[in-house]
A and B are shown apart, each in its own frame.
Chain A
């Protein structure tokens, strides 16, 4: 596809530099437009459509049971007014931000990057154990979230959990109520374990694109390992870092199965995140309209994060 210049991405130009009118643009690009049409239609059907439906239903009192299920009606901004007066809602937002910062931005990102650098380092030196470490991290990722939730549940459980009854009892320490006393750190640890592999894989791929002679030159200049990492590795990874952060942030915002399996949002609402809150409202209290309003707010928060990361990535690029 003919690309526009950097200042004006929508201004198409011909190879000779002549500005193209929209009709010309369509005509010249018709094979490409035809090519993207199925994808665009599918995206509209499966992404934009449901999002619009969520916005619409958030303005109704649609429900799965009761009179509202038989006669749903338009209630305007009532659901939003109710949501912003709900004292639990602000706790839920705070929990979500803590969960995303703790498990995605700090946990998965930092740990994934560290693992990628270590494994890359080991691979460059031909250490066989690197493959083993790679496979171990990957194993956590290929598990379905539900299984990961049950695995951690089996470890954290106060009554039957292996953390208490195998490890702590071996060193003579009494059982600890992990999920009751440290609910947010516990779910964050489980999610870091679960999601680190994704970040690691992306960074491992990105690390392979850095030419080795840069490091060679730096080494000749006398730069130590830390300097080489800080001055060469990190700047090369910045564009991919923004995209990785964007995807893991969004995925973590939407995660609820892991938390549902581990704590179901408890104790009280200490680990209730916005996605879980939307799910419970829509499918346990069966209030689809109100649940949609929560989902729309979640969509808005995700958009804010997306804009922030994309701007950051462009600025760095």
Chain B
């Protein structure tokens, strides 16, 4: 390059740099504070989405915030990845410091996010928000950790024991099959195995591949069905107990008798295959999330209504059946946000009565706001009414900072028994030892 051209190049580059550096400031200053009404500044809303349901509601809320606050800009960071991939990326971002102002993730992470100092308590905001009274106390309690509110849920999680009426009928069971105790589930699966060879009888999630399914859709409901506890009232985790041994023995029966396919242990995202199989009738029994029903119904509404039954989880001796509740996904405000008021404005705007009702009709979940359950379109959906009602029988895992580590330990214990590598007693002992190692012996008690 000649001397002349290099100098010219440097001049042009310098000028460009100045223009580029000034540009964002010029854009942000487009509406000066004196002209703008309401809140000003810029926030970033980050969320994962694979289904394609959320984006229009997110955009709608963003538009609403920007038109109400003319000096504000809401940037949307949509990540089309699964929740688990999103979470890892999000955590690394939260540690690095260049954080979004608002993000979207499951409510069972409240405690570990709060303890890490990533999220902002919302008490002062919700106390000044008239709509907060629409949230039932049980939900407020679910969003509370160490005495503070940390996240705003909108669609709650419930779970069902799904069963195929057509498959059970072929196995000689009634179409309105209702198990009165836990052993009835094994009896039904055994009947399917012996009489309907083309159908997989039962899917019981186990092992690491099953992710949180091994916890919420299998191990935890089993421990509760056998009358045990996951945690004591003072927050310690139960390591080895009669109920935990019984739950693991249930795994041994189910896998030992070939009632549940061992492929669950090795298939990537085994829930994808199991949900598809229950939907097409090649699987007879499955305890799964309430949100799965919508996928089947959208493919075949009439067939699903006719053939897919849903029930609460039975208990060992015929005590009241129950379900596992969850806060579902929530909106969080980051502690490092530089514009917390505008971020809250966005969260508040999203969580209006109509959006909460509509998104939960599209992606079926019980609604977090009581007034959203009164929206006529919501009330017209029997499944959603049943789901919302099921939460009266729901039990919740308490928010706990050790949950991720405990989940890994549960996956290992269930995997050991399901693969036939351990007896239930040995696996229960190892479960206790693994828990002590993972979260500290002082936080674990054997009963």
The residues of A with any CB-CB pair to B shorter than 8 Å are 63-67, 69-70, 82, 85-88, 153, 157-160, 177, 179-180, 183, 260-270, 280, 283-287
CB distance from B404 to the nearest CB of A (A): 6
Cβ of B78 within 8 Å of any chain A Cβ, yes or no, is no
Helix, strand, loop or mixed for chain A's interface? loop
Q: Report B252-280 CB contacts with A as 1/0, cut-off 8 Å.
A: 00000000011101111000010001000
Contact in complex: B401, A88 (CB < 8 Å): no
| Closest Cβ neighbor of A71 among chain B residues | B117
Q: What chain A residues lie within 8 Å of B116 (beta carbons)?
A: 63-67, 69-70
Q: What chain B residues lie within 8 Å of A87 (beta carbons)?
A: 430
Residue contacts A-B, CB under 8 angstroms, 14 given = A65-B115, A65-B116, A66-B111, A66-B116, A69-B116, A87-B430, A157-B267, A158-B263, A159-B267, A179-B267, A264-B268, A265-B208, A268-B416, A284-B84
Cross-chain pair count, CB within 8 angstroms? 114
What is the CA–CA distance of A63 and B262 in the complex, to the nearest angstrom? 33
Contact in complex: B437, A86 (CB < 8 Å): yes
| Closest Cβ neighbor of A283 among chain B residues | B88
Cβ of B120 within 8 Å of any chain A Cβ, yes or no, is no
Contact in complex: A267, B115 (CB < 8 Å): no
Contact in complex: B437, A180 (CB < 8 Å): no
- Are A180 and B109 also in contact (CB < 8 A) when A64-B116, A70-B116, A286-B404 are? no
Contact in complex: A286, B91 (CB < 8 Å): yes
CB distance from B261 to the nearest CB of A (A): 7
Cβ of B113 within 8 Å of any chain A Cβ, yes or no, is yes
Known: A70-B116, A267-B418, A285-B408. 12 other contacts (CB 8 A): A64-B92, A65-B113, A66-B116, A70-B115, A82-B437, A159-B277, A264-B208, A264-B209, A264-B268, A267-B207, A267-B265, A269-B415
| Closest Cβ neighbor of A272 among chain B residues | B208
Helix, strand, loop or mixed for chain B's interface? helix
Contact in complex: A266, B265 (CB < 8 Å): yes
Contact in complex: B117, A261 (CB < 8 Å): no
Contact in complex: A266, B207 (CB < 8 Å): yes
Contact in complex: A65, B109 (CB < 8 Å): yes
Contact in complex: A177, B262 (CB < 8 Å): yes
| Closest Cβ neighbor of A86 among chain B residues | B437
Contact in complex: B88, A268 (CB < 8 Å): no
What is the CA–CA distance of A228 and B421 in the complex, to the nearest angstrom? 50
What is the CA–CA distance of A88 and B207 in the complex, to the nearest angstrom? 14
- Are A159 and B273 also in contact (CB < 8 A) when A180-B262, A268-B416, A283-B88 are? yes
Contact in complex: A177, B408 (CB < 8 Å): no
Q: What chain A residues lie within 8 Å of B277 (beta carbons)?
A: 159
- Are A64 and B437 also in contact (CB < 8 A) when A153-B268, A180-B265, A264-B209 are? no
What is the CA–CA distance of A287 and B409 in the complex, to the nearest angstrom? 13
Cβ of B425 within 8 Å of any chain A Cβ, yes or no, is no
Cβ of B405 within 8 Å of any chain A Cβ, yes or no, is yes
Contact in complex: A264, B266 (CB < 8 Å): yes
- Are A65 and B112 also in contact (CB < 8 A) when A266-B208, A285-B408 are? yes
- Most chain B CB inside 10 Å of its own CB: which residue of A64, A82, A179, A261: A64
Contact in complex: B401, A66 (CB < 8 Å): yes
| Closest Cβ neighbor of B207 among chain A residues | A266
Contact in complex: A70, B208 (CB < 8 Å): no
CB distance from A137 to the nearest CB of B (A): 26
- Are A69 and B117 also in contact (CB < 8 A) when A263-B266, A265-B208, A268-B207 are? yes
Q: What chain A residues lie within 8 Å of B370 (beta carbons)?
A: none
Contact in complex: B263, A177 (CB < 8 Å): yes
Q: What chain A residues lie within 8 Å of B117 (beta carbons)?
A: 69-70
Q: Which of B113, B405, B416 contacts A287 (CB 8 A)?
A: B405
Interface positions of B from 257 to 307, Cβ below 8 Å from A: 261-263, 265-268, 273, 277
Q: What chain B residues lie within 8 Å of A69 (beta carbons)?
A: 95, 112, 115-118
Contact in complex: B115, A261 (CB < 8 Å): no
Q: What chain B residues lie within 8 Å of A267 (beta carbons)?
A: 207, 262, 265-266, 415, 418-419
Q: What chain B residues lie within 8 Å of A159 (beta carbons)?
A: 263, 267, 273, 277
- Are A280 and B268 also in contact (CB < 8 A) when A70-B115, A160-B273, A268-B419 are? no
Q: What chain A residues lie within 8 Å of B329 (beta carbons)?
A: none
Q: What chain A residues lie within 8 Å of B164 (beta carbons)?
A: none
What is the CA–CA distance of A236 and B352 in the complex, to the nearest angstrom? 76
| Closest Cβ neighbor of B433 among chain A residues | A87
Cβ of B231 within 8 Å of any chain A Cβ, yes or no, is no
Interface positions of B from 45 to 104, Cβ below 8 Å from A: 84, 88, 91-92, 95
Contact in complex: B115, A67 (CB < 8 Å): yes
Cβ of B313 within 8 Å of any chain A Cβ, yes or no, is no
What is the CA–CA distance of A268 and B421 in the complex, to the nearest angstrom? 8
